[in-house]
């Protein structure tokens, strides 16, 4: 199975200007993901998708290929990862390269345990999943079976159940995406227009150092993790 690693890193971040190449612990944020990607033995090729010359330069300095400059229309706030991946696959196909699956590695989740990408790819292959994502367990107090949604001025259990699950021990485990890894079959991306498909596997990263950087407060969390030797 040929797997393409894609690191998406557009310019124009509003929450943290220049986020992808801002120095975190002495190196650009992008470099953490670049190092993890280069260490993964099951990725056949790793490329960067960016519209920004400064980001592209940093990627190349750190051994990441940049085969194209992402079009401006795919670098806006409303552009999703799916469109970015589809563009990359289309471009590479025109160059005679095709892949069975794509591994999306977002720079905003910089701290991946050593070997995590290869472990995820192995599980993806063995399970014959449409996709596989990295997740973390939702704390019990935020479990969807204990969450209420507001509708027309009154509250309803988010899962649609009429009675709430009373005992903590009876709650099913729930997970949220941590943003570190998305692996998806190319056929699902192109034919179903989806990053997930019908059969979704997961890697549970609960317990490992984690931050998904979107705000200045998130950046402070990442800095503290590094200062404490956990980043």
Question: What is the predicted pLDDT for the residue at 15?
Answer: 81
Question: What is the predicted pLDDT for the residue at 70?
Answer: 95
Task: Give dist(CA 108, CA 110) in Å, integer.
Answer: 6
Contact 202, 132 (CB under 8 A): yes
pLDDT tens across 49-93, in order?
999 999 999 999 999 999 999 999 998 888 899 999 999 999 999
Task: Give dist(CA 34, CA 2) in Å, integer.
Answer: 19
Question: What is the predicted pLDDT for the residue at 12?
Answer: 81
Task: Give dist(CA 110, CA 22) in Å, integer.
Answer: 12
- Contacts of 222-229 spanning 24+ positions with Cβ under 8 A: 222/24, 222/110, 222/111, 223/24, 223/25, 225/111, 226/24, 226/25
Question: What is the predicted pLDDT for the residue at 79?
Answer: 87
Q: pLDDT by residue for the chain (231 residues), tens digit each?
A: 999 999 999 998 888 999 999 999 999 999 999 999 999 999 999 999 999 999 999 999 999 999 999 999 998 888 899 999 999 999 999 999 999 999 999 999 999 999 999 999 999 999 999 999 999 999 999 999 999 999 999 999 999 999 999 999 999 999 999 999 999 999 999 999 999 999 999 999 999 999 999 999 999 999 999 999 888
Question: What is the predicted pLDDT for the residue at 78?
Answer: 82
Segment holding 190, helix H or strand E: helix 186-191
pTM, whole model, 2 decimals?
Answer: 0.93
Q: Under 8 Å CB-to-CB from 18, ≥6 apart: which residues? A: 11, 54
């Amino acid at each position: 199975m040929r797997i393409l690693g894609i690191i998406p890193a557009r310019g124009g971040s509003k929450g943290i200007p220049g986020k992808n190449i801002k120095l975190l612990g002495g190196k650009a944020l992008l470099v953490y993901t670049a190092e993890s990607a280069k260490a993964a033995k099951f990725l056949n090729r790793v490329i960067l998708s960016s519209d920004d010359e400064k980001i592209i330069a940093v990627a190349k300095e750190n051994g990441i290929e940049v085969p194209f400059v992402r079009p401006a229309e795919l670098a806006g706030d409303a552009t999703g990862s799916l469109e970015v991946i589809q563009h990359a696959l289309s471009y590479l196909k025109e160059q005679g390269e095709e892949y069975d699956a794509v591994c999306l590695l977002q720079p905003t989740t910089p701290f991946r345990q050593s070997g995590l990408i290869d472990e995820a790819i192995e599980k993806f292959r063995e399970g014959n999943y449409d996709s596989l994502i990295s997740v973390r367990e939702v704390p019990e107090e935020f479990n969807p079976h204990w969450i209420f949604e507001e509708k027309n001025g009154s509250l309803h259990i988010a899962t649609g159940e009429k009675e709430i699950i009373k005992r903590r021990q009876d709650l099913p485990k729930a997970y949220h995406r941590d943003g570190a890894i998305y692996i998806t079959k190319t056929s699902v991306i192109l034919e179903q227009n989806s990053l997930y498909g019908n059969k979704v596997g997961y890697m549970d990263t609960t317990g490992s150092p984690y931050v998904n950087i979107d705000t200045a407060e998130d950046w402070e969390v990442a800095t503290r993790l590094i200062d404490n030797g956990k980043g």
